[in-house]
């Protein structure tokens, strides 16, 4: 039951923050079409977490999914190590042609930015998680959207304004 509440909290964060503030202009369509899945990853063994990540890459057919790490990575630097490992797995296994990953963490920090800068909030989530997206879906969304560089500039401005 607790996992259900954590997934609900994640969905609320996506609706109330990401979609409400248009942080990701592609999120609403995917959610409206129910093309998102959420997984709570269990266990503390890094090797097993990596195997679970690979397994989902091999079997998941949905457009996008979130892997939630509720207990494994309270420390942001440990989470980043795991995230970089997941990126390396994509590259080494040629899954990077099909998928891309995005990191979210309650303590997320963009490299080179002041720790107090509100811009970090774009990637600050209720729990550590990796968002896995299909590249073809991302490319279609970008084609229809246009200048995606404007998204991050707008987000930074918005979050600095909101404080």
**Cα atoms found within 13 Å of the Cα of residue 97, Cβ hemisphere only:** 3
Say yes or no to pLDDT of 156 above 80. Answer: yes
Cα dihedral 26/76/101/70 (nearest 10): -80
Which range is least confidently modeled, 4-8, 53-57, 80-84, 159-163? 159-163
Assign 3-class secondary structure to 48-107.
HHHHHHHHHHHHCCCCEEEEECCCCCCCHHHHHHHHHHHHHHHHHCCHHHCEEEEEECCC
Q: What is the mean pLDDT of residues 139-163?
A: 85
Give the separation between CA 19 and CA 119, rounded to whole angstroms.
Answer: 16
- For residue 124, what pLDDT is reported? 96
Say yes or no to pLDDT of 147 above 80. Answer: no
- For residue 140, what pLDDT is reported? 85
Average pLDDT, the chain: 92
Say yes or no to pLDDT of 146 above 80. Answer: no
Q: Judge contact between 132 and 56, C-beta under 8 A.
A: yes
Give the separation between CA 114 and CA 140, rounded to whole angstroms.
Answer: 34
Chain segment 72-130, per-residue pLDDT in tens: 999 999 999 999 999 999 999 989 899 999 999 999 999 888 999 999 999 999 999 99
- For residue 1, what pLDDT is reported? 65
- The pTM for the full model equals 0.92
- For residue 154, what pLDDT is reported? 92
């Amino acid at each position: 039951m607790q996992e259900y509440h954590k997934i609900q909290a994640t969905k609320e964060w996506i609706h109330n923050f990401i979609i409400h503030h248009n942080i990701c202009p592609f999120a609403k369509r995917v959610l409206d079409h129910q093309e998102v899945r959420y997984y709570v990853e269990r266990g503390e063994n890094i090797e097993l977490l990596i195997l679970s990540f690979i397994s989902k890459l091999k079997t998941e057919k949905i457009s996008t999914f979130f892997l939630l790490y509720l207990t494994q990575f309270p420390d942001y630097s440990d989470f980043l190590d795991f995230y970089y490992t997941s990126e390396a797995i994509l590259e080494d296994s040629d899954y990077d042609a099909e998928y891309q990953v995005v990191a979210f963490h309650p303590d997320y920090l963009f490299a080179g930015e002041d720790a107090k800068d509100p811009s970090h909030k774009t990637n600050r989530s209720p729990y550590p998680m990796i968002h896995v997206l299909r590249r073809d879906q991302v490319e279609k969304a970008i084609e229809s959207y246009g200048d995606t560089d404007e998204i991050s500039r707008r987000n930074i401005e918005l979050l600095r304004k909101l404080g």
